[in-house]
Amino acid sequence: MGHNHIHSASYSLSDYFLITFFVCMVILYIIGVRLSNRMYKKWSTLRTLSWVVGILFVSLTVVGPVADRAHVDFSMHMLAHLFLGMLGPLLIALSAPMTLFLRALSVKSARRCTKMLKNNFFRIVSHPLPASILNIGGLWLLYTTDLYAQMHENLYLYIFIHIHVFLAGYLFTISIIYIDPVAHRTSFLYRSIIFIIALGAHGILSKYIYAHPPQGVPSSQAEIGGMLMYYGGDGIDLFLIIIFCYQWFKSTHKTDASNAVLHS
Protein backbone atom coordinates (compact mmCIF):
# COMPACT_ATOMS: atom_id res chain seq x y z
CA MET A 1 0.00 0.00 0.00
CA GLY A 2 3.02 2.23 0.23
CA HIS A 3 2.34 3.49 3.77
CA ASN A 4 4.91 4.02 6.50
CA HIS A 5 3.58 1.63 9.11
CA ILE A 6 3.26 2.83 12.64
CA HIS A 7 3.74 -0.62 14.15
CA SER A 8 6.45 -3.13 13.45
CA ALA A 9 6.15 -6.89 13.78
CA SER A 10 7.79 -6.85 17.22
CA TYR A 11 6.22 -5.35 20.33
CA SER A 12 7.19 -1.76 21.08
CA LEU A 13 7.06 0.28 24.27
CA SER A 14 3.68 1.69 23.23
CA ASP A 15 2.36 -1.85 22.76
CA TYR A 16 3.34 -2.79 26.31
CA PHE A 17 1.73 0.43 27.54
CA LEU A 18 -1.51 -0.47 25.77
CA ILE A 19 -1.46 -4.04 27.10
CA THR A 20 -0.99 -2.66 30.61
CA PHE A 21 -3.85 -0.22 30.07
CA PHE A 22 -6.27 -2.96 28.98
CA VAL A 23 -5.24 -5.25 31.83
CA CYS A 24 -5.86 -2.35 34.25
CA MET A 25 -9.34 -1.88 32.75
CA VAL A 26 -10.17 -5.50 33.56
CA ILE A 27 -8.71 -5.24 37.08
CA LEU A 28 -10.62 -2.01 37.80
CA TYR A 29 -13.88 -3.61 36.71
CA ILE A 30 -13.26 -6.60 39.00
CA ILE A 31 -12.48 -4.23 41.89
CA GLY A 32 -15.75 -2.44 41.11
CA VAL A 33 -17.59 -5.78 41.25
CA ARG A 34 -16.14 -6.56 44.67
CA LEU A 35 -17.07 -3.12 46.03
CA SER A 36 -20.57 -3.41 44.56
CA ASN A 37 -21.13 -6.89 46.03
CA ARG A 38 -20.49 -5.54 49.53
CA MET A 39 -23.46 -3.18 49.35
CA TYR A 40 -25.85 -4.67 46.78
CA LYS A 41 -26.91 -8.03 45.40
CA LYS A 42 -24.25 -10.07 43.61
CA TRP A 43 -23.12 -8.60 40.30
CA SER A 44 -23.83 -10.75 37.24
CA THR A 45 -20.96 -12.99 36.17
CA LEU A 46 -22.17 -12.68 32.57
CA ARG A 47 -21.73 -8.90 32.75
CA THR A 48 -18.17 -9.34 34.03
CA LEU A 49 -17.44 -11.83 31.24
CA SER A 50 -18.94 -9.42 28.70
CA TRP A 51 -16.56 -6.67 29.90
CA VAL A 52 -13.50 -8.93 29.72
CA VAL A 53 -14.30 -10.22 26.23
CA GLY A 54 -15.24 -6.71 25.04
CA ILE A 55 -11.92 -5.31 26.26
CA LEU A 56 -10.14 -8.23 24.57
CA PHE A 57 -11.72 -7.47 21.19
CA VAL A 58 -10.87 -3.77 21.51
CA SER A 59 -7.27 -4.59 22.47
CA LEU A 60 -6.86 -6.85 19.41
CA THR A 61 -7.40 -3.83 17.16
CA VAL A 62 -4.39 -1.90 18.48
CA VAL A 63 -1.98 -4.57 19.77
CA GLY A 64 -0.89 -7.88 18.28
CA PRO A 65 -1.06 -9.63 14.89
CA VAL A 66 -4.50 -8.33 13.88
CA ALA A 67 -3.43 -4.74 14.53
CA ASP A 68 -0.11 -5.21 12.69
CA ARG A 69 -1.73 -6.88 9.70
CA ALA A 70 -4.43 -4.19 9.51
CA HIS A 71 -1.78 -1.69 8.35
CA VAL A 72 -1.02 -3.61 5.16
CA ASP A 73 -4.22 -5.58 4.53
CA PHE A 74 -7.51 -3.70 4.20
CA SER A 75 -9.60 -6.82 4.81
CA MET A 76 -7.83 -7.27 8.15
CA HIS A 77 -8.34 -3.58 8.84
CA MET A 78 -12.07 -4.09 8.30
CA LEU A 79 -12.08 -7.03 10.73
CA ALA A 80 -10.41 -4.74 13.28
CA HIS A 81 -13.08 -2.10 12.53
CA LEU A 82 -15.83 -4.62 13.36
CA PHE A 83 -14.08 -5.45 16.64
CA LEU A 84 -13.39 -1.82 17.60
CA GLY A 85 -16.53 -0.06 16.41
CA MET A 86 -19.23 -2.71 16.77
CA LEU A 87 -18.55 -5.93 18.69
CA GLY A 88 -16.34 -4.41 21.41
CA PRO A 89 -18.75 -1.52 22.15
CA LEU A 90 -21.74 -3.91 22.22
CA LEU A 91 -20.09 -6.26 24.71
CA ILE A 92 -18.86 -3.37 26.87
CA ALA A 93 -22.33 -1.77 26.84
CA LEU A 94 -23.85 -5.09 27.95
CA SER A 95 -21.44 -5.17 30.90
CA ALA A 96 -23.21 -2.04 32.29
CA PRO A 97 -19.97 -0.25 33.29
CA MET A 98 -21.68 2.97 34.40
CA THR A 99 -24.12 1.12 36.65
CA LEU A 100 -21.22 -0.76 38.24
CA PHE A 101 -19.23 2.47 38.64
CA LEU A 102 -22.13 4.21 40.40
CA ARG A 103 -22.74 1.20 42.66
CA ALA A 104 -19.07 1.16 43.69
CA LEU A 105 -19.20 4.83 44.78
CA SER A 106 -20.62 6.35 47.92
CA VAL A 107 -24.22 7.57 47.64
CA LYS A 108 -23.11 11.21 47.64
CA SER A 109 -20.49 10.69 44.91
CA ALA A 110 -22.91 8.58 42.83
CA ARG A 111 -25.51 11.36 42.92
CA ARG A 112 -22.91 13.92 41.87
CA CYS A 113 -21.82 11.74 38.91
CA THR A 114 -25.43 11.09 37.90
CA LYS A 115 -26.09 14.83 37.85
CA MET A 116 -23.00 15.39 35.69
CA LEU A 117 -24.14 12.72 33.20
CA LYS A 118 -27.38 14.65 32.70
CA ASN A 119 -25.66 17.78 31.41
CA ASN A 120 -26.30 19.01 27.85
CA PHE A 121 -23.15 17.51 26.30
CA PHE A 122 -23.96 13.93 27.37
CA ARG A 123 -27.63 14.44 26.54
CA ILE A 124 -26.72 15.40 22.96
CA VAL A 125 -24.04 12.78 22.19
CA SER A 126 -26.11 9.94 23.69
CA HIS A 127 -29.20 10.88 21.67
CA PRO A 128 -29.83 8.36 18.82
CA LEU A 129 -29.64 10.89 15.96
CA PRO A 130 -26.33 12.65 16.87
CA ALA A 131 -24.84 9.30 17.93
CA SER A 132 -25.75 7.80 14.54
CA ILE A 133 -24.24 10.75 12.68
CA LEU A 134 -21.02 10.51 14.70
CA ASN A 135 -20.85 6.77 14.11
CA ILE A 136 -21.95 6.20 10.49
CA GLY A 137 -21.04 9.70 9.27
CA GLY A 138 -17.53 9.25 10.64
CA LEU A 139 -17.12 6.00 8.70
CA TRP A 140 -18.30 7.60 5.46
CA LEU A 141 -15.77 10.38 5.98
CA LEU A 142 -12.97 7.89 6.72
CA TYR A 143 -13.51 5.63 3.71
CA THR A 144 -14.69 8.05 1.00
CA THR A 145 -11.93 10.65 1.45
CA ASP A 146 -8.13 10.40 1.71
CA LEU A 147 -8.46 10.22 5.51
CA TYR A 148 -7.88 6.46 5.49
CA ALA A 149 -4.52 6.86 3.70
CA GLN A 150 -3.51 9.78 5.94
CA MET A 151 -4.32 7.75 9.05
CA HIS A 152 -1.43 5.38 8.29
CA GLU A 153 1.00 8.27 7.85
CA ASN A 154 0.18 10.26 10.97
CA LEU A 155 0.36 8.72 14.45
CA TYR A 156 -1.86 11.34 16.09
CA LEU A 157 -4.52 10.98 13.40
CA TYR A 158 -4.31 7.19 13.76
CA ILE A 159 -4.89 7.43 17.52
CA PHE A 160 -7.70 9.99 17.14
CA ILE A 161 -9.58 7.92 14.54
CA HIS A 162 -9.34 4.72 16.61
CA ILE A 163 -10.63 6.51 19.71
CA HIS A 164 -13.43 8.08 17.66
CA VAL A 165 -14.47 4.76 16.08
CA PHE A 166 -14.75 3.11 19.50
CA LEU A 167 -16.52 5.99 21.27
CA ALA A 168 -18.91 6.59 18.35
CA GLY A 169 -19.72 2.88 18.23
CA TYR A 170 -20.29 2.80 21.99
CA LEU A 171 -22.48 5.93 22.01
CA PHE A 172 -24.54 4.55 19.14
CA THR A 173 -25.03 1.24 20.96
CA ILE A 174 -26.13 2.81 24.25
CA SER A 175 -28.43 5.20 22.38
CA ILE A 176 -30.32 2.24 20.90
CA ILE A 177 -30.37 -0.22 23.81
CA TYR A 178 -30.67 1.01 27.39
CA ILE A 179 -28.52 -1.00 29.78
CA ASP A 180 -26.96 1.74 31.90
CA PRO A 181 -28.74 4.88 33.20
CA VAL A 182 -29.24 7.38 30.35
CA ALA A 183 -29.61 11.16 30.25
CA HIS A 184 -32.95 10.87 28.47
CA ARG A 185 -35.16 8.13 27.06
CA THR A 186 -36.56 8.21 23.55
CA SER A 187 -39.38 5.95 22.39
CA PHE A 188 -38.77 2.48 20.95
CA LEU A 189 -40.41 3.56 17.69
CA TYR A 190 -38.11 6.56 17.31
CA ARG A 191 -35.01 4.49 18.08
CA SER A 192 -36.10 1.77 15.66
CA ILE A 193 -36.43 4.32 12.83
CA ILE A 194 -32.96 5.77 13.52
CA PHE A 195 -31.57 2.25 13.82
CA ILE A 196 -32.99 1.17 10.44
CA ILE A 197 -31.60 4.29 8.72
CA ALA A 198 -28.17 3.70 10.31
CA LEU A 199 -28.18 0.05 9.21
CA GLY A 200 -29.02 1.12 5.67
CA ALA A 201 -26.24 3.74 5.61
CA HIS A 202 -23.74 1.17 6.92
CA GLY A 203 -24.78 -1.35 4.28
CA ILE A 204 -24.58 1.21 1.44
CA LEU A 205 -21.09 2.24 2.60
CA SER A 206 -19.89 -1.37 2.54
CA LYS A 207 -21.12 -1.70 -1.07
CA TYR A 208 -19.48 1.61 -1.97
CA ILE A 209 -16.16 0.37 -0.56
CA TYR A 210 -16.54 -2.83 -2.61
CA ALA A 211 -16.90 -0.85 -5.84
CA HIS A 212 -14.73 2.18 -4.97
CA PRO A 213 -11.68 1.18 -2.88
CA PRO A 214 -10.25 3.80 -0.47
CA GLN A 215 -7.08 5.51 -1.66
CA GLY A 216 -4.14 3.08 -1.80
CA VAL A 217 -6.25 -0.05 -1.29
CA PRO A 218 -6.09 -2.80 -3.97
CA SER A 219 -9.47 -3.78 -5.45
CA SER A 220 -9.14 -7.39 -4.24
CA GLN A 221 -8.70 -6.27 -0.62
CA ALA A 222 -11.50 -3.70 -0.92
CA GLU A 223 -13.88 -6.38 -2.18
CA ILE A 224 -13.11 -8.70 0.74
CA GLY A 225 -13.23 -5.76 3.18
CA GLY A 226 -16.56 -4.55 1.79
CA MET A 227 -18.11 -8.01 2.09
CA LEU A 228 -16.72 -8.40 5.60
CA MET A 229 -18.18 -5.03 6.60
CA TYR A 230 -21.55 -5.93 5.05
CA TYR A 231 -22.03 -9.48 6.35
CA GLY A 232 -19.98 -9.13 9.55
CA GLY A 233 -21.77 -5.89 10.41
CA ASP A 234 -25.14 -7.55 9.80
CA GLY A 235 -24.17 -10.42 12.09
CA ILE A 236 -23.28 -8.10 14.97
CA ASP A 237 -26.30 -5.89 14.31
CA LEU A 238 -28.51 -8.98 14.52
CA PHE A 239 -27.56 -9.36 18.18
CA LEU A 240 -28.31 -5.68 18.74
CA ILE A 241 -31.70 -6.10 17.02
CA ILE A 242 -32.55 -9.13 19.19
CA ILE A 243 -31.70 -7.23 22.39
CA PHE A 244 -33.64 -4.16 21.22
CA CYS A 245 -36.73 -6.21 20.29
CA TYR A 246 -36.56 -8.10 23.59
CA GLN A 247 -36.47 -4.81 25.52
CA TRP A 248 -39.40 -3.51 23.46
CA PHE A 249 -41.37 -6.70 24.11
CA LYS A 250 -40.69 -6.50 27.85
CA SER A 251 -41.74 -2.84 27.93
CA THR A 252 -45.00 -3.62 26.09
CA HIS A 253 -45.67 -6.58 28.36
CA LYS A 254 -45.19 -4.41 31.47
CA THR A 255 -47.51 -1.75 30.04
CA ASP A 256 -50.19 -4.36 29.26
CA ALA A 257 -49.86 -5.82 32.76
CA SER A 258 -50.18 -2.35 34.35
CA ASN A 259 -53.27 -1.58 32.26
CA ALA A 260 -54.82 -4.88 33.26
CA VAL A 261 -54.33 -4.06 36.96
CA LEU A 262 -55.79 -0.58 36.51
CA HIS A 263 -58.89 -1.89 34.77
CA SER A 264 -59.48 -4.89 37.03
Q: What is the model's pTM?
A: 0.89
The alpha carbon torsion through 27, 71, 224, 91 (nearest 10 deg) reads: 10
pLDDT, position 10: 62
pLDDT at position 115 over 90: no
In three-state form (DSSP H/G/I as H, E/B as E, the rest C), the secondary structure along 40-82 is CCCCCHHHHHHHHHHHHHHHHCCCCHHHHHCCCCHHHHHHHHH
pLDDT in tens, 37-80: 998 899 999 999 999 999 999 999 999 999 999 989 999 999 99
